Amino acid sequence: MEYGRKKILWISHSAISAFARCPHLYYLEYEYRNPETGNRIQITNPYLALGIAVHEAIEGLLETKPEERSKIVLEERFDQIFEKYRGLRGGFISQKKEEDFYERGIKMMERVKRTDFLSKPSLKTKTNFPTIDLINENVKLVGSIDWIEKLSGGGAHIIDFKTGNSKENNGSLQLPIYTILGESNIKEKVERVSYWYLQHDDMPVEQKLPDTKYYLNILKEKASLIKEAVEENRFPCNYGNKCFSCRDYEKIFIGEAEKIESANSRNKDVFCIFKEEDVIEKVVVEDFLDEREKKVFEMRLTKSKDEISRELRLTEEKVDKIAKQIKEKLAKNLRQKELKIIIKLLSPSTSSKKYNGKKRIFEEN
């Protein structure tokens, strides 16, 4: 987005977090553009899909009068929204994981429905993404506040919904950022701030009200570091080729990802990546292999054909027969990119150092 002729640098909680984890990760998420489309790139995954669906199901009710919200069946609303994120659109490699995450979302809807939360008056910011000038008019703080409850005695209560397992650490800048943006974009004074961990808490968990002047200085310092990196086009990776934060994006560049959507509402190309652990999980949790085939498959990830024969007390001919059945079922039930990952995992070249020339099964031919 441009301000006059100058590019605006948007500073958000997620941008600050990405830069702190690894400057190169920040570059891939916020500066890099797909040369084919000119869009930013985004990787979808089950946790992101669940979070988006849950937030959309609840936050969409801000437009509904409090007295009307109780008539809405939240579970049905979530079900309709979640449909948009099924399969690879939500980063779901296996059907089992998709259903597990769907059930998590339904339980969150049930938890919200059991409270009087939705019946309370709420407030809206002037825009969905309130901003303030942070360093100058070209470096702006931006965020999207999940929910603002209007307190009965006056004032506002900012609530941030959390759909994952982990809790925010004490140094998180998320609620300070929302407090700063809230004070600049609503008429009511921010009196309370809370996280609501929807996966395990029945009510919002109130946090200490942040000192906005103190946190503004911290945010300006962090924004200055990002601004300097952008101006110098300097985004070194913290860990070189072994960076955990960057490696998922590298899978896009080497063809181990599938484009799901191009130019969505935020001008991003969305990709689903295929991780070894997710593909293995799909094979062992879904039903296209029987239990003995699953056992042989799992053993083959770490053992040779000879070891499998001995441990299962099967002849090598029997193990070969089972292996052939497994290969046929894998070819029938896995996507091409998933199959390539399995072939790579089980091929002689991949495991040669581990097995020192022992007999192997599941060769590519």
Q: What is the mean pLDDT of the chain?
A: 90
Half-sphere exposure of 245 (CA within 13 A, CB side): 18
Tens of pLDDT along 47-94? 999 999 999 999 999 989 999 998 999 999 999 999 999 999 999 999
Across the range 260-286, mean pLDDT stands at 88
Q: How confident is the model at residue 355 (pLDDT cuts 50, 70, 90)?
A: very low
What's the pTM value of the predicted model, to 2 decimals? 0.88
Give CA separation, 72 vs 78, 160, 323, in Å.
Answer: 11, 21, 52
Q: What is the DSSP string of 202-265?
A: SS-EEEPPP-HHHHHHHHHHHHHHHHHHHHHT----TTGGG-TTTHHHHHHHTT-EEEEESS-T
**Helix (H, G, I), strand (E, B), or coil: what is residue 162?**
strand
Cα 54 to Cα 63: distance, rounded to the nearest angstrom:
16
Across the range 106-111, mean pLDDT stands at 97
Residues 168, 201 contacting (CB under 8 angstroms):
no
Q: How confident is the model at residue 256 (pLDDT cuts 50, 70, 90)?
A: confident
Question: Locate tokens 């084919």: which residue?
Answer: 36
Q: How confident is the model at residue 1 (pLDDT cuts 50, 70, 90)?
A: very low
Q: How confident is the model at residue 313 (pLDDT cuts 50, 70, 90)?
A: very high
Across the range 258-285, mean pLDDT stands at 88
- Give the dihedral of Cα atoms 60, 64, 70, 71; nearest 10 deg: -100
